[in-house]
Amino acid sequence: MQYDCQTCGACCYGPEDYVTVVSTDRLRMRTQTQARYVEQRGDRAWLKMLHGHCAALRARQGHFSCRMYGERPNVCRVVTEGSRECLDARRRRGVVDG
């Protein structure tokens, strides 16, 4: 089965504090990226969510892309097409294979 992240975006949907941001992630991120997309409370940080999905997700007419792809956290980097994390996200969102 072939999976295409740019026609899915399922892994970008979840609850508040869904995507943890750690110190090594912040080293990769520009200051502007952190200000726009990272939420910090106490010693915890995560990507901001908007309408149930990551605020960095750009969703337009069935096309999905990440506004901070090159700077995304490690937890996002492990999700690859067809990986266990990908398939779990697709199931949660009800994305049908095919």
Per-residue pLDDT tens digits for 41-80: 999 999 999 999 999 999 998 899 999 999 999 999 999 9
Q: How does the average pLDDT of the chain come out, rounded?
A: 94
The two tokens of residue 15 are: 């609850």
Q: How far apart are CA 31 and CA 19, in angstroms?
A: 18
| pTM of this prediction exceeds 0.85 | yes
Instruction: Write the burial class of residue 12 (CB in 10 Å: 0-12 exposed, 13-18 middle, 19+ buried).
Output: buried
**Which are the contacts of 31, defined by CB distance < 8 A and separation ≥ 6?**
none
Q: Residue 67 is encoded by which pair of tokens?
A: 């506004």
Q: What is the pLDDT of residue 98?
A: 52
